[in-house]
Structure formats: C-alpha cells, structure tokens
Structure 1
Amino acid sequence: MNAQAEDSTKDSIGGSLNWLLGGAVGGVVGALIFGGLLWMIDPEIVIETIPAIYGLSPAGPLGWVFHLTHGLVLGIVFGFLVSRSVIFTTLTADVETDIIATTGPRLRFIAAGIVYGLAVWTVLPVTALSIWIAVGGVNDPAFPATAIESLLGHVLYGLLLGALFSILVDITPEAEESDAPFREASDPPRK
C-alpha cells in the first residue's frame, strides 16, 4: 500500500461491520445538520410537525428524537447498500474514464450520498408523506414536502452522510483490489 493510502485509512474503521458504524454516525450527524437547517427556517417543523406525522402532540424534544432516529436508520440503510459487493465495487473500481478516475473513491461515496439523499426525499416526504396526509385527511399539512428547504436539507443530509461514511469506513484497501463489476466480456482481466 502506498503512503497516501496509508495516511487516508489510518483513522478509518475496518472490519466486517464498519458500514454499520459509518452509516450510523453519518446518518445522525447529517440529520443533526439537516434538523438545524429546518430549525433556522421554522422551529415548528421539528417541534410540532415531525411528531404530528405519527399522530403525537409536541412534547419537548420529541421531534428531535424522531428526526435523529430517522437519520440513524436511513444512514444504516445507506451503509448497508453501498457496502454490498456490486455497489461497492462500482464506487471503488479503477475506471478508464478520466473525469471519474480523477475523483477517487471518497468523492464517489459523497456523490452516492447525495444521490441517496435525493432518493430519500423523493420516496419519503414527496411520495410517502403526501399519501399519508391524503389518507389521514389532513387538509393543511404544516410541512411542505416538496419545498426547497426539504430538498436542500435532504441533499445536505446525503452529502454529509456520504462524506462521513467515506472518512470513517476503511474503503482504500478494497478499492485497490477491486475491478469494475460491469466489464465487457472481451476486456482482459486486470492485474
């Protein structure tokens, strides 16, 4: 392993469950910063609206607990997904496209986090929350699911999640050993 790779992995976590801790920490920190953004825009979103999604009245820090729990669970799901062989080898593969090759695996994990944040925004607040509100008969939802704040918050969440995951999880040794998972049949094997 070269000196640069050693420097970038000396503080990271190795082992078979490293994705769990990396996803959990990235998810909680991302949710904390996302919650801070919501708090600056309108504190009632965190205090009242998030507990109201579950049919609960605002009660102290309950909204923060739910919000951070959402971030934790979604972060663990991200860690699980990107640590699966086909996704992991795609993100860490040695590629021949110059622009992608220059980014390195860390920036690819950050990009994967941003894409994941956008996917979470699309699936949860835009789709699931809208259906939940329609079924529940709420005429005036306090949280605008498609608002720019929600979109930016989820992108910020994904960015932080991907960045912290790539810093905390030891991805470099595997990245040096992995081949592109979608290689053409006529391509010679890499050495």
Structure 2
Amino acid sequence: MATESATQRVESTSNGDWQAGAVAGIIGGVAMGALMAVRMPGVLDVAIPSMYFLAGGLAGFTVHVAHAAVLGVGFAALAATQTPLSTGRSVGLGVAYGVVLWVVLAVLVMPIWLSAVGSPANPPFPNVNATSLVGHVVYGAVAGAAYPAVRERL
C-alpha cells in the first residue's frame, strides 16, 4: 500500500512593496532623526525612550527608527493604491503622509502616551510644534523619494 502526498509549491508574487516601505521608512527615519538630534535633542534623549521606560539618545534614536520602519510599511500600503507611482508623486504622497503622522501621532497620541507612562518630557495636549511638523514632512519626503528606488531593487 503506497501513500502519496501532494506538495503544492506556492511562489510569492509580491514585488517586495512592504520591504521597500520598511527600508524607505528607515531612510526617512534616519533623516528625521538627524534633524531631531540638532533641533529637538530632548525628544530623542528623553521623550521617545521614556515611552518604553528607556533612557538616552541612542535608545531614543533606535526606537524612532523602528517606528519609522513600521510606518514605512503603512506608506507602502498607501503607495500601492497609486498607479502609476512616479518618484514625484511618491514624494508628494510622502509629504502628505508625514503631515497626517504628525497630526495623529505627534500632536495627539504622543502627549497622551507620555502622560500615561509618567514621562518627565510630557508635552502639552495637543502638542502643536512647528519643528516637529517640519521633521515629519522631512520623514515623508525622504521616505517617499526612497520608496520607488528601493522597490525597483527588490
């Protein structure tokens, strides 16, 4: 009595959009993090690490870049709805995405989160800060510019 088993091989048809989003998000996060290190060092040194009960600029930068990678995957999902997606259109979409992230995460969520964890860097609610807006626009623009190039290489 012979036993046969069928094996089905499934090949991925994904073109690496989510991976490209993560990489583009990291690139944008590093650019924004560099700007923050110069213009808003307290955010990297205290605010971001204290969200996770950590301390120090390296922890803040690392967490910031990890957030940027995850948010880059969200950008990839949004970018996938745009066809065709030129680099210019991707940059514009990235800038708009950065503004939305600023409103939702920096202005609304971050002050509530920092208050909930008892952070010494608890900003007012809402946390409307022009420098933070510029940083989020830089994140979106850089991630938007990087995304099509990274996607082509994956």
TM-score by length of 1: 0.64
- Gaps spanning 5+ residues in structure 2: where? 1-12
Whether 1:81 aligns to 2:78 is yes
Q: Paired residue for 1:126? A: 107
Alignment of 1:163 with 2:153, yes or no, is: no
Give the counterpart letter for 1:63 in structure 2.
G
- What is the CA distance between 1:115 and its match in structure 2? 0.6
The aligned residue for residue 180 of structure 1 is none
CA–CA distance in structure 1, aligned partners of residues 119 and 138 of structure 2:
28
AA matched with 2:62: V
For residues 43 and 134 of structure 1, do their structure 2 counterparts lie closer, same or farther at Cα, with a shift above 3 Å needed? closer
| C-alpha contact 1:45 1:142 (8 A) present in aligned 2 | no
Matched, 1:55 2:37: no
Residues 137 and 168 (structure 1), Cα distance of their counterparts in 2 relative to 1, 3 Å cut: closer
Q: Does 1:149 align with 2:134?
A: no
Worse overlay, 108-117 or 125-134:
125-134
1:136-186 Cα deviation digits (max 9, x unpaired): 56686269942111000000000011110122224xxxxxxxxxxxxxxxx
Q: 1:140 to 1:16 in 2, by over 3 A?
A: closer
**Corresponding residue number in structure 1 for 2:65:** 68
Give yes or no for contact 1:23–1:79 (8 Å, CA) kept in 2. yes
The answer to whether structure 1 residue 31 and structure 2 residue 4 are counterparts is no
- 1: distance between equivalents of 2:63 and 2:15? 25
Q: Which runs of 5+ in 1 are unaligned?
A: 1-14, 93-103, 171-191
2:94/2:140 contact within 8 Å kept: yes
The CA distance in 2 between the partners of 1:130 and 1:142, in whole Å, is 5
**Shift in Å at residue 44 of structure 1?**
2.7
TM-score, length of structure 2 as denominator length? 0.78
Q: Deviations over 1:29-68 (max 9, x none)?
A: 111110111101132321222111223333x621111011
Count, aligned residues: 139
